[in-house]
Amino acid sequence: MSQHLTTVYHPLIQHNLTLLRDGTTSTPQFRRLLREISLVMAAEATRDLPMTTRRIETPLEPMEAPVLEGRAPVLVSILRAGNGLLDGLLEVVSEADVGFVGLYRDKDTLRPVQYYCKLPDGLDARRVIVVDPMLATGNSSAATVDLLKQAGARDIRFVCLLAAPEGVARMKQAHPDVPIMTAALDRELSDKGYILPGLGDAGDRMYGTK
């Protein structure tokens, strides 16, 4: 994942993403589809984790076998929609520790306001994968990465489902060292800060709120 933006054109992701976008998809279906997508995204997002080897004994002979190097990665969910991606990633990266960052968007300024932050230790020596399904203005994402860098994180990735060009540009300007992985790069942001064509409010659709 060396380039700044990677779009994952996996057929299972793209098929499920279309169903997620469909406004007639129910909340239980939405959660199921999101979980399925996040399992495949997890495999893609962890493709370049650093590896080393360990000597083990199979039932037949010793071997130098590949294992993940260093401490387990850290997953950071931007509340609350990030949790929809987090669950699938945690199933694949089950040894990960998990941080949560709570930010809400001020309705008038669209700027992020922090209300919660709880992070695991040792961020300076671990891969940190931030998850939020929607990279819209990029303000919450950039603010979260600011927090993580202040806490010592150096190796940070951002994983989302849909990205707006405006959000990608904001992240590139604020954090050019943080690669972004998305399932789709959409057309633009609406004047209310929604991604178009998008899928609506991810948190509301995931949890059945309005």
Q: Interface residues with ligand URA (CB under 6 A)? A: 81, 134, 136, 193-195, 198, 201-203
CA distance 19 to 17: 5
Return the amino acid letter for 34: L
Q: 67 pairs with which residues across the strands? A: 52
Q: Closest separation between CB of residue 80 and ligand URA, Å?
A: 10
Q: Report the nearest approach of ligand URA to the CB of residue 167 (Å).
A: 9
CA 184 → CA 66, 187, 208, distances in Å?
32, 10, 24
Nearest approach in angstroms of CB 51 to ligand URA is 35
Angle between helices 165-174 and 139-150 (to 10 degrees): 30
Q: How many CB atoms lie within 10 A of CB 88?
A: 20
Looking at the Cβ atoms of 78 and 148, the one nearer to ligand URA is 78
Q: Whole-number minimum distance, CB 56 to ligand URA, in Å?
A: 45
| CA angle 200–204–210, rounded 5-degree value | 100
Question: What is the distance between the alpha carbons of residues 7 and 185, in angstroms, rounded to a whole number?
Answer: 7
Least distance (Å) between residue 75 CB and ligand URA:
19
Return d(Cα 27, Cα 208) in angstroms, integer: 6
Omega cis (within 30) before 197: yes
Toward ligand URA, which CB reaches closer, 8 or 103?
Answer: 103
